[in-house]
Amino acid sequence: MMPLSMLNDGETATVKKVGGREDTRRFLENLGFVDGAEVTAISSNNGNMIIKIKDSRVALNTDMAKKIMV
């Protein structure tokens, strides 16, 4: 397992665990970051990442991406 922030552009992985405080976990789960979800790193720039999940693109900062284990 590694944090989502470690994915390179174009890599695909499966979400294994979402960490952080309860409100943070709930926020990420509402975006679709749940156990078993497939995610693809589209791009990263200045610590921000664009992630494709469930036919949507989501922008996350590095702190949020580190809470998602893949």
4-48 per-position pLDDT tens digit: 999 999 999 999 999 999 999 999 999 999 999 999 999 999 889
Give the separation between CA 64 and CA 25, rounded to whole angstroms: 10
Give the separation between CA 11 and CA 27, rounded to whole angstroms: 23
What's the confidence (pLDDT) of residue 47? 82
Give the separation between CA 14 and CA 62, rounded to whole angstroms: 18
* Torsion on CA atoms 37, 43, 57, 66, rounded to nearest 10: 50
The structural domains of the chain, ordered by start, are 4-69 (2.30.30.90)
Phi–psi pair at 23, nearest 5 degrees: -65, -35
What's the confidence (pLDDT) of residue 36? 97
Indicate the pTM of the whole model: 0.90
What's the confidence (pLDDT) of residue 3? 96
The first and second tokens of residue 46, run together, are 């200045």
What's the confidence (pLDDT) of residue 26? 95
